[in-house]
Every structure is written in structure tokens, then in C-alpha cells.
Structure 1
Amino acid sequence: MTYRLHLDPALHAAFKALPDQARADLSTCLLEAMADPLAHSEPYGIDDGIMRTIARGRIAGVILIGDSDITLVQLNYAG
């Protein structure tokens, strides 16, 4: 199953402002998570299977996994 991705407009603006490599890394994480979110993420705090962390290079994010969608709820860049 492929999940749909939801981005808040403020997070989308932050994504667009990232350097090219950070955008590419986050895009890769999100695409992998959309295919299989549990296999391509780590628990965020207690492993409830809903709030998960994705990371690659200097970028990290927190995703919320729904029945058929993923929502990016936090974005961190160590630039």
C-alpha cells in the first residue's frame, strides 16, 4: 500500500527553503516512508507505531502515520 503525504503549508515553506541536498534527503525519506512507514522510520519516543522519526544526512523529521496517509509534523535541519 502506498500512503498519501500531507504537509502543513508552514512546513512546506520550510521544506522549500532548505538547501538542495537537505530537500533531496528529506524527499527520499518521505518517499520510502510512503511505501512502508514502519520499515523506513524509527520510533519517536515510545513505539506506538503512529509517531515515527525519519532521518538522512543532516535532516530529520517526525511523521504521523494514519490509516492511509502520512503527515509530516516536524522538520529539523542541522545546517
Structure 2
Amino acid sequence: MTYRLRFPADVLDTYKQLPDEARRDLAVCLVDAQEHPLEVSEPYGEDDGIIRTVARGHVTAVILIGEHTSTITVLAIAYAGE
């Protein structure tokens, strides 16, 4: 199953402000997560299988996996900078 990706407006604004390399790293993580989100993500706090993190390079995102709606919602983005 392929999950649809959703960005709330404020998180999309954060994504747009990232440097090019960080945007590419995050895009790779999110595209990979669309096929098998649990396999390519890590638990965020307690492993409930719903709220997870994906990371690559200097960027991390918190995602919400909506199994019933087949969606992945990006809840937050953190960039450590270089």
C-alpha cells in the first residue's frame, strides 16, 4: 500500500525554508516511508506504531501514520544545520 503524504501549512513553510540538501534528505525519507512507514522510521517516545520519526543527514521529521486513511502527516521538522 502506498500512503499519501500530508503537510500542514506551517510545517510545509518550515520545509520550504530548509537548505536544498536538507529538503532532499527529508524528501528521500518521506518517499521511502510512503511504501513501508514502520520499516523506515523509528518510534517517537513509546512505540505505538503511529507517531514515528524519520531522519537523514541533519534533518529529522516527526510523522503520524494514519493506517485507516493511508496517510502520513508530517507533524514537525527539525534541522540541526551544518
Give the TM-score band, short-chain normalised. Answer: over 0.9
In 2: Cα distance, 1:5 partner to 1:22 partner = 18
Following superposition of structure 1 onto structure 2, how do residues 1-79 of structure 1 map, counting pairs within 5 Å?
A: 1-67=1-67, 68-79=70-81
Q: Gaps spanning 5+ residues in structure 2: where?
A: none
In 1: Cα distance, 2:10 partner to 2:50 partner = 22
Write out the 4+ residue segments of structure 1 that deviate beyond 6 Å after TM superposition. none
TM-score, normalised by the number of residues in structure 2: 0.94
Would you say how many aligned residue pairs link Structure 1 and Structure 2?
A: 79
Q: Secondary structure at the match of 1:49?
A: coil
Q: Gaps spanning 5+ residues in structure 1: where?
A: none
C-alpha RMSD of the superposition: 0.5
Shift of 1:47: 0.6
Percent identity (aligned): 54
